[in-house]
């Protein structure tokens, strides 16, 4: 009976947390420039980039970029399909706390998913499903609700770090996807 009671309390807390998250994201609250997908209500960075190239050259450029960008690229990518022109991945990065004296400490780990898709003359990236990894996964959109009874002022800093990471990721991807200049054979 005691185990049943504790399980019920745990489920009540989880359901309450989920309702709080849904309420905070459906009321259109945003923090600065974080992009919220209208359909999923998740922080989502996405863009179709017009670039010179075809599906195969984009795919190869993306694999090259992934191999340079990520320390362990094979573990990061879940799908690498040259036939469909799609790459999907899952990655984590650390966020930090900085106190009033400037002391920086680890605040935890954010996990996110990404996908890259390629067609003639364009490619698309999507970064979404940002989750704060703990004993349970907490969608980072929760941090956007300043009315949450558990609100912590550090959440704004965490959201800024997520945004800065995503924008740096996008900038690096775009640079890696630029066509490479043809090598000149005038060295002989």
Is 24 inside a domain boundary? no
Is 21 exposed, middle or buried, given 0-12, 13-18 or 19+ CB atoms closer than 10 A?
A: buried
Q: Is the pLDDT of residue 58 over 80?
A: yes
Q: Is the pLDDT of residue 3 over 50?
A: no
Is 123 inside a domain boundary? yes
Give the pLDDT band of residue 16 (cuts 50, 70, 90).
Answer: very low
Is 3 inside a domain boundary? no
Is 14 inside a domain boundary? no
Q: Give the chain's domain count.
A: 1
Q: Which domain holds residue 95?
A: 34-177
Q: Is the pLDDT of residue 120 over 80?
A: yes
CATH number of the domain that residue 118 is part of: 3.30.530.80
Is 55 inside a domain boundary? yes
Are 47 and 125 contacting, i.e. CB atoms less than 8 angstroms apart? yes
pLDDT mean over 18-32: 38
Is 109 inside a domain boundary? yes
3-class state of residue 84 by DSSP? coil
Is 54 inside a domain boundary? yes
Is 185 inside a domain boundary? no
């Amino acid at each position: 009976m005691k185990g049943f009671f504790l399980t019920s309390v745990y489920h009540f807390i989880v359901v309450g947390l989920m309702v709080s998250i849904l309420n905070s994201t459906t009321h259109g609250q945003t923090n600065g420039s974080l992009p919220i997908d209208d359909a999923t209500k998740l922080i989502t960075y996405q863009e179709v980039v017009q670039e010179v190239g075809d599906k195969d050259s984009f795919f190869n450029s993306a694999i090259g970029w992934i191999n340079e960008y990520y320390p362990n690229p094979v573990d990061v990518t879940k799908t690498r399909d040259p036939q469909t022109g799609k790459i999907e991945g899952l990655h984590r990065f650390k966020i930090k706390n900085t106190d009033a004296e400037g002391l920086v400490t680890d605040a935890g780990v954010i996990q996110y998913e990404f996908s890259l898709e390629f067609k003639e003359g364009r490619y698309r990236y999507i970064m979404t499903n940002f989750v704060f990894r703990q004993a349970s996964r907490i969608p980072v959109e929760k941090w956007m609700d300043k009315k949450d009874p558990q609100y912590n002022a550090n959440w704004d800093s965490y959201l800024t770090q997520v945004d800065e990471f995503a924008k740096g990721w996008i900038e690096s991807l775009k640079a890696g996807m630029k066509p490479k200049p043809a090598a000149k054979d005038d060295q002989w």
